[in-house]
Copies of this chain bind each other. A is one copy, B any other.
Amino acid sequence: MVNLVQRVEDTWRTCSKSDSSGASNSGCESSKESSRSSTPVLDTDRTDRLRDKMRHRTESGDHWFSLEFFPPRTASGAVNLISRFDRMGSGGPLFIDVTWHPAGDPGSDKETSSMMIASTAVNYCGLESILHLTCCNQTKEKITGYLSKAKRLGLKNIMALRGDPMGADWEEEEAGFNYATDLVKHIRCEFDDYFDICVAGYPTGHPEAESYDEDLRHLKEKVDAGADFIITQLFFRADTFLKFVRDCRAIGITCPILPGIFPIQGYQSLRQLVKLSKLEVPEEIMQVIEPIKDNDAAIRNYGIEQAVSMCRVLLESGEVPGLHFYTLNREVATMEVLRQLGLWIEDPRRTLPWAVSAHPKRKVEDVRPIFWASRPKSYIYRTQDWDDFPNGRWGNSSSPAFGELNDYYLFYLKSKSSKDALLKMWGEELTSEQSVYEVFTSYITAQPNVAGHKVMCLPWNDDPLAPETNLLKDELDKVNRRGVLTINSQPSINGKPSSDPIVGWGPPGGYVFQKAYLEFFTSSENVTALLKVLKKYEPRVNYHIVNVHGQNTTNAHDMQPNAVTWGIFPGREIVQPTVVDPVSFLYWKDEAFALWIEQWAKLYEDESPSRMIIKYIHDNYFLVNLVDNDFPLDNCLWQVIDDMFELLDNPPEEQPAEALRQDCVDAQIW
């Protein structure tokens, strides 16, 4: 736990002016001139470069880990890899890196390219990322083009490699890229200090180097040319690495050196890797593996055990600030090693209630509309062209336009489930609106649907219920059964500690607050009754009610945003990361209604009854959001819904249906 607390405090670090006693000292004049950041969450961890983060973590003795992935071969592989980024990102890696595959069109816009995968990790998964880049056989123009593109996409870190020469007849070119050093120099020459640069180290010497010492000298050249840190090739004995570090230090290499850890995951993959890297597997390892080479599970267990014990030695040596894992795009072994080492953060503390994007332009972003809470990648995509992000308060932005979302096919926006799986979850055949209600109920309760399948996602929620939403499960179940089809909600929170495991976020010692929120689709009949009921709840409840045609009813003040999540922290301004914003709600409305058709109706044949049912809902239901402003009291939104049902079940005699309809005419709803 010490590490965890340290980490969160780092994230909200005090300025470097602070001396070790926690008191900073400055004369009047210099203080007057000091600049300060423009936003309360603009803290060092969010603005620091990777090399600075490493330095902070190293100085505080807070060990970290990082993860290496290679680009996928197929489009569905890309969807899977992005899901893996999200899952493995939740464990708290300091960074990930994506290898460069010269044969795979690595700099292109293809969804399987190294460039796109790294960009997606940064922009959509919020992961600090390093893009590998090999220079062998490339022109300067081509390399500069790749680097410019990487910069444009928000990538800030490059692993500069020579790469394997294509073919055996490779020769040095004059003024060309012959060694990684040339690439490091080129990056520094063309892009100054923009990129953090990583280079490769070879604990047993590069296979092509004349000698170990010769290779060390090459490494020194790479560092002198401007590299910021070193990641090593894999190795099998802690001593190999520790000797390497000593040798590096001896010749004046002072930058961080991260050991590359390769948990053995199978006999074949080990053989292949060894062949490619021209490494020798130590005899003591081969002796264990050979006898069990056909038992994958046994080998993997051994690999985990071997990696854990080696990592322990490394960490205890005091020479190793962080561990770099060659994941081979697999999760289990690496996660298990990290768990056993205590480096995997099961419940990472959040800087904000939503995952902060790692794109430099978005680093100051500290407020988002609540609507996209379950579709953050879509929000990021639709706002990617914004020049500024709402800086502190949403209202400061001049409500820039949202991009259209017609690109449901984009791999980072696609559902993780196949059409087949979706049909099983959402129904091979729908018979009525009621059968749609049942899908929602199954999702909420995590109970199998009538066909016996668990509903793991909905068009508006690609993941099972959040722990926070789970707190509301019983109420959600009850209202979904009756056609209040909830797609987003949060409970009210009146000052829980910022360290709360479910609703907490931000630095330690603070308090977080929420207003209760509920968002749902429901029929126009329900809306008619609801509007009647809502009059009783003025001004406690704010509402926005809109249908697909944009008929919009609200009691919001002057189109101002309503803060629904905020936090108070020691020595800071108020942070209000989530708002119900009337303007963006009308953009979200377009997306939320379109998802009925794009993700659900299109599963079925044209003109099929199932499709017509979804289409009917799309055309006729309203999207409603409700905020209970009275956060210190019990959430009244369930009472609002109860009152609506009560009114529908027992319409007052003097208020027959026709009169209700008249009220709506008065309210200019129809």
Contacts and interface: CB of A to CB of B under 8 A. Distances in A.
Given A18-B555, A495-B632, A539-B571, A395 B513 contact: no
Contacts of A80: none
A559 B40 contact: no
A43 B531 CA distance: 26
Given A393-B393, A395-B37, A554-B24, A572 B568 contact: no
Interface stretch (A26-34, A200-208, A240-248, A607-615): A26-34
A542 interface: yes
Nearest to A21: B667
Report the interface size class on chain A.
Answer: 35 or more
A559 B36 contact: yes
Given A15-B559, A36-B559, 5 more contacts: A19-B667, A24-B555, A28-B551, A32-B401, A566-B574
A382 to B, nearest CB: 14
Contacts of A561: 572-573
Interface stretch (A269-277, A287-295, A470-478, A576-584): A576-584
A316 to B, nearest CB: 30
A494 interface: yes
A570 B392 contact: no
Given A23-B553, A24-B555, A573 B579 contact: yes
Given A494-B495, A572-B560, A31 B586 contact: yes
B509 A560 contact: no
Interface in A22-65: 22-29, 31-32, 34-40, 43-44
Given A23-B667, A550-B29, A583-B31, A629 B37 contact: no
Interface in A533-560: 535, 538-540, 542, 546, 549-560
Contacts of A542: 570-571
A24 B549 CA distance: 16
A650 interface: no
Interface string A585-626: 011010000000000000000000000000000000000000
Nearest to A554: B24
Nearest to A511: B632
Contacts of A18: 555
A120 to B, nearest CB: 29
B558 A14 contact: yes
